[in-house]
Amino acid sequence: MNYKLTKNERLHSEKLIKELFNKGSSFFLHPFKVLLLDMPVEGDGTVQVLFSVSKKKIKQAVKRNFIKRRMKEAFRLNKNELKNISKNRKLIGLIYVSADVDTFQNIERKTLKVIDRINSISEKQNPLP
């Protein structure tokens, strides 16, 4: 099991980020707004993730970075729960929209719920034969 969150798994391309925000579907699961996009590019089914914290809600950069570190760690530990059903590249945007600094346990629990929701969405789009 690989527990690293490599640069290939982080979404950092401006072009792909714009495409995720413009064409991606979204759902809300407090404290996250989740953007999701399946890219039609054939590949190995890689998943790329974007982590963001609202500057409007959390003013101090120290707190924003603290929350982003917690989000990355929660995703890194639980990313193996994501099922690669399709061979398409999957882009995921996790945007923290709460005004409160949450504990790691709550962020991890909500991250697991987000991953379960993404898995159920992927299963509906690509049913197994």
CATH number for the domain harbouring residue 44: 3.30.230.10
Q: pLDDT of 22-46, one tens digit each?
A: 999 999 999 999 999 988 776 667 8
Q: What is the number of structural domains in the chain?
A: 1
> Binning pLDDT at 50, 70 and 90, where does residue 123 land?
confident
Percent with pLDDT over 70 in the chain? 91
Residue 1 has pLDDT above 80, yes or no: no
Structural domain including 103 reads: 7-125
**Per-residue pLDDT averaged across 77-85, rounded?**
83
pTM of the predicted model, to two decimals?
Answer: 0.89
pLDDT at 13: 92
Q: pLDDT of 55-66, one tens digit each?
A: 999 999 999 999
pLDDT at 42: 63
pLDDT, averaged across the chain: 90
Within a domain: residue 23? yes
pLDDT at 30: 93
Within a domain: residue 98? yes
Residue 101 has pLDDT above 70, yes or no: yes
Within a domain: residue 62? yes
Residue 73 has pLDDT above 90, yes or no: yes
More confident residue, 83 or 50: 50
DSSP string spanning the chain? ------GGGB---HHHHHHHHHH-EEEEETTEEEEEEEEEEESS--EEEEEEE-TTT---HHHHHHHHHHHHHHHHHHGGGS---SSEEEEEEEEE--SS---HHHHHHHHHHHHHHHHHHHHHHS---
Within a domain: residue 1? no
